[in-house]
Structure 1
Amino acid sequence: MKASTPALVTLEQLGIDYVAHTFDHNAATTDEIGYGRAAARALGVEENRVYKTLLAQSDNGPVVAIVPVNMQLSLKALAQVLDAKRCEMVVARDAARITGYVIGGISPFGQKRMLPTVIDESAVLHTTIFVSGGRRGLDIEVGAADLIDALHAALGAIATASD
């Protein structure tokens, strides 16, 4: 696939193998179950293999947190991994400004600047996982180890069961 987003350009520059998966973004479904779960459903993939890219603020600045779409981010656990006092979610408009991506299309690759990244440890249970490709309706399937290495990410138990 021709690189059409900064995420895909970055993957190609790094020589990382990936498979781009496009799907119809359905606003009604997204409103009902969220971007990540809607992507999993549209792609026919188990929710525990599709990961969402979230932006939090720690004592030391913004940080990327990547967790399965069927889980939620534990800000307390994220702070512990970062050895920070506390973390809080970044508001949507600031997340878009900081990353350069629209909400629902934030990719861990190709952001405006490389931020400290923590990935939920469950990622290593899968050979490949899905993350946003940089726009709504585009997910990329990438090796979990490649994701961790390319982002210089820390692993931690940062996901908790969704309510």
Structure 2
Amino acid sequence: MSRTTPATLALTSAGIPFTLVTYDYDAEAARIGLQAAEEIGVPASIVLKTLMVEVDGKPACVVVPSDQEVNMKKVAAAFSGKSAHMMKPADAERLTGYKVGGISPFGQRRQVPTAVEEMATLEEEVYLNGGQRGLQVRIRPDDLIRALGATAADLVR
């Protein structure tokens, strides 16, 4: 497994401190984020999943705890939109340059507006996909927000 991805390069070039954590990715897992949390031995609430969405037809990225379900009405509101829905996997892969199961909010081909679940910002550290399946980035939430130019918002049910 390569430890250098567009995500790690973006974080390094931005001067954002992070640590890499690898785990055995299970493509058959029902919920990838929960499987990642179990493999690395941390609570699922601090392993964040990256979801690509469309808000009023425009792409956006949301980052939420892997043990939570996103609320599309709240997602739309976070981006001052009227409606939101999940992006089709093929469109998410094309837009980000990552494979589903390995989509990171960092180093995407095209940076889009990003919102992070506000409860995640209260944690000391969080884990996010590092740009490939089986690779997680451990980072402080304030560094996550700063690196992405993201906003914190209420995004879950």
TM-score by length of 2: 0.95
Q: Distance in 1 between matches of 2:17 and 2:58?
A: 31
Higher strand share: 1
Letter of the structure 1 residue corresponding to residue 6 of structure 2: P
CA apart distance, 1:26: 2.1
CA apart distance, 1:40: 0.3
- Residue 87 of structure 1 is matched in structure 2 by 84
Question: Does residue 61 of structure 2 align to residue 64 of structure 1?
Answer: yes
Letter of the structure 2 residue corresponding to residue 144 of structure 1: P
Aligned structure 1 segments of 4 or more residues deviating by more than 2 angstroms: none
- Where structure 1 has 5 or more consecutive residues not aligned to the other structure, the ranges are none
Q: Distance in 2 between matches of 1:5 and 1:92?
A: 20
- Residue 112 of structure 1 is matched in structure 2 by 109
Q: Distance in 1 between matches of 2:140 and 2:116?
A: 13
CA offset digits 1:14-65 (Å, max 9, x no partner): 111101000111233x1xx311111000000100000000000012610000
CA offset digits 1:70-119 (Å, max 9, x no partner): 00111100111111011111011111111110001100100001100011
- Residue 137 of structure 2 is matched in structure 1 by 140
Q: Distance in 1 between matches of 2:77 and 2:117?
A: 13
Kindly indicate whether the alpha-carbon contact (under 8 Å) linking 2:117 and 2:153 is maintained by their aligned counterparts in 1: yes
- Where structure 2 has 5 or more consecutive residues not aligned to the other structure, the ranges are none
Q: Distance in 2 between matches of 1:26 and 1:116?
A: 29
Kindly indicate whether the alpha-carbon contact (under 8 Å) linking 1:3 and 1:9 is maintained by their aligned counterparts in 2: no
Letter of the structure 2 residue corresponding to residue 127 of structure 1: E
CA RMSD of aligned residues (A): 1.2
Q: Distance in 1 between matches of 2:145 and 2:122?
A: 13
Q: Percent identity of the aligned residues? A: 37
CA apart distance, 1:3: 5.2
Question: Does residue 127 of structure 2 align to residue 130 of structure 1?
Answer: yes
